[in-house]
Amino acid sequence: MIKFRCFALAFILIVPNCNSYSQNTRLRYVGIESGMKFIESEISDMDLIRGDIPSYSMGFSTSSLTSLSWAWYAGVKSEIFTLNDRFGFQGGIRFSQFNSTIGKDEYWGSNTNYFYWLYRQEGTETEFLKIREIIQKTEYLGIPLEIRYFIPRRPHTLLFYVKLGAELNFRVNTGTHVVFKDPLMEIYEKDISDQIEKPGAVSFALYSGAGFRIGTDQKPSVSIEACFPYIILTSHSSGLLHPLFGGGFQLNFQVPVKSKAK
């Protein structure tokens, strides 16, 4: 009887492990990703804007400047899993476009849909320009590095995971578009653009997230995840808007490229 119990215990302990051993392989994937981020920001430099106009991020305001900062990105990434399938390490290359906007809109008839920008001040001559909106777009080429921790072990069609990530971005290009109240003032767009601070050449961000992966084991899969918080650590050199924190979502499509048995 004792022998039978020992055998049963050994069976219970060993058989599942044998089963998992048979399925454990070091998985590698390549894929494409895309996503969006929305970032809470404040206006970097109010020195050239007339009035005590508070700014609200992504807000609805009748008397204040509204600022909005968001980004979209797309890239290619590869992922390699640890032998226990719990952790996936991702790295790749990512193209991002950050869009920063400040503007004033009229939601009621008695308000103005422009603000005054100090264009020139020389001696006793001062010039304002009426501006409705300033849009600054900055493109980056970056390196994302991410770690995913899968809560259930494969194989499952639906795998939940949490993630930590970092991205190092290098600025490729910055463009500024100014919407004037009077279209005849468009000839001063470049001058205004030159007055506005440009983002730094390098930016670095940390983020976390959680999501799920859908797909048959070792077949193409899709991952959908929410990212929060997204924190830019180099916000001091951020251009038109000073980012505070943000969040967003990301989509991944992956295909397995290589499997090695243990």
Partner 1 sequence: MKSNRLIIPILLFMLLADCSKENELKKSVFIPDRESPELPAYSEWGYNTFGAFYDREIFVSTDAQVPSKVFSSDTAMQLILEGEKRYDDYTSYSEMSLKFTLEGFTPEQFGDLVALNDTIIDLKDPGCRVQVFEYYHEIPVNILSGRLYFKRVQNLSVDKQHIEAILSGYFEFQAIINDKPVTVSEGRFDVGIGSDNFYLNE
Q: Of 47 and 194, which has the nearer Cβ to partner 1?
A: 47
Mask of contacts with partner 1, 9-48, x by CB under 8 A?
A: ----------------------------------------
129 scored as a contact of partner 1 (CB under 8 A): yes
Q: Is 50 in the site for partner 1 (CB under 8 A)?
A: yes
User: Residue written as tokens 């499997």?
Assistant: 259
From residue 70 to residue 109, what is the string marking binding to partner 1 with x (rule CB under 8 A)? ---------------------------------------x
Q: How far is the CB of 119 from partner 1 (least distance, A)?
A: 9
Q: How many CB atoms lie within 10 A of CB 12?
A: 9
Binding test (CB under 8 A) with partner 1, winner from 126, 173, 216, 259: 126
Binding of partner 1 by 186 (CB under 8 A): no
Does position 121 interact with partner 1 (CB under 8 A)? The reply is yes
Asked if 234 interacts with partner 1 (CB under 8 A), we say no
The rounded Cα 85 to chain-centroid distance in angstroms is 26
Residues that bind partner 1 (CB under 8 A): 50-52, 109-110, 112, 116, 121, 124-130, 180-182, 184-185
